[in-house]
Amino acid sequence: MILKKYILMFTKSELLRLTFFIGCSVMTQTDIASRMAEIAGPLVSSLGLELVEIEYKREGRAMVLRLYVDREGGVTLDDCTKVSRELSEILDVEDFIRGYYTLEVSSPGLNRPLTRESDYARYTGRLVKIRTRELLPDDAGNPRKTFTGELLGLDNGIVRLKLNEGQTAGIPFDKVAKANLEFEF
């Protein structure tokens, strides 16, 4: 009972930073996603797949650990099932995620996120949507946070686009908050 009262005196953010005297540490959502990348990356690569993105977040009342995997030509349900089964076995042994969660392995879909610099070279010529962390001007001087157009590539840390409105834009890679392929009809 004394331990319970002692812990309740801390704020939620303070608790996330504490290491309890019993030797178990509290991992943040970012810590869990990073640890999953260390574990899942080699597994996914060994199966001939690419690990695109990892999410660990609350959805409703439950936590969801979601991995997006891909390969040239797309992934199948069998690919996702195999990753899920093998990863489940590893997670049972590692046991670093406290509490209940659901593991999902999925294709990134038609609106695949662009998460690495290499994605910008791979998908040059495709329609993309980029959201930035702050207002940035396009090459015509119009400030915006959302840019949609043809990806021209990444050069010296600058993502180049030919926007749907006709002008171009150069977006520093470190200012990209989110980037996705857009489905072309």
Q: What is the DSSP string of 54-102?
A: EEEEEETTEEEEEEEEE-TT---HHHHHHHHHHHHHHHHHH--S-S-EE
Lowest mean pLDDT of 66-70, 91-95, 157-161, name the range. Answer: 91-95
Give which of 68, 172, 89 is closest to 161, Cα–Cα: 172
pLDDT confidence tier of residue 90, bands split at 50, 70 and 90: very high
Quick one: CA dihedral 15, 18, 67, 171, positive or negative?
Answer: positive
* pLDDT tens figures, 8-49: 344 444 434 433 333 445 678 778 888 889 999 999 999 999
Predicted TM-score of the model (pTM):
0.71
Query: With contact defined as beta carbons under 8 Å apart, do 22 and 7 qualify?
Result: no
* pLDDT tens figures, 114-167: 988 989 999 999 999 999 999 999 999 999 999 999 999 999 999 999 999 999
Give which of 98, 95, 90 is closest to 28, Cα–Cα: 98
